[in-house]
């Protein structure tokens, strides 16, 4: 039975790829830039209302 299990395990493939994420510092830097862009757009829209 162990040979059958070993044979089966050799045939199956992983179902998912390993996901790699950027380091937290990089993610936070991107978030800060996005927040700046959003704030700039909001200021531009507010100036159009005046």
The per-residue DSSP string of 15-27 comes to SSPPP----HHHH
pLDDT at res. 47: 96
Which positions of the chain have pLDDT values less than 50?
A: none
21: phi > 0 → left, psi -120 to 50 → alpha, else beta; which?
beta
Does the predicted TM-score (pTM) go above 0.75? no
* Rounded Cα–Cα distance for residues 32 and 47 (Å): 23
pLDDT at res. 4: 67
Greatest extent of the chain over all pairs of C-alpha atoms, in Å: 79
Buried b (16+ CB within 10 A) or exposed e, 20-39: eeeeeeeeeeeeeeeeeeee
């Amino acid at each position: 039975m162990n040979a059958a299990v070993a044979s089966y395990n050799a045939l199956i493939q992983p179902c998912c790829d390993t996901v790699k994420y950027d380091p937290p510092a990089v993610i936070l830097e991107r978030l800060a830039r996005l927040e700046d862009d959003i704030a700039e757009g909001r200021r531009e829209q507010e100036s159009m209302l005046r």
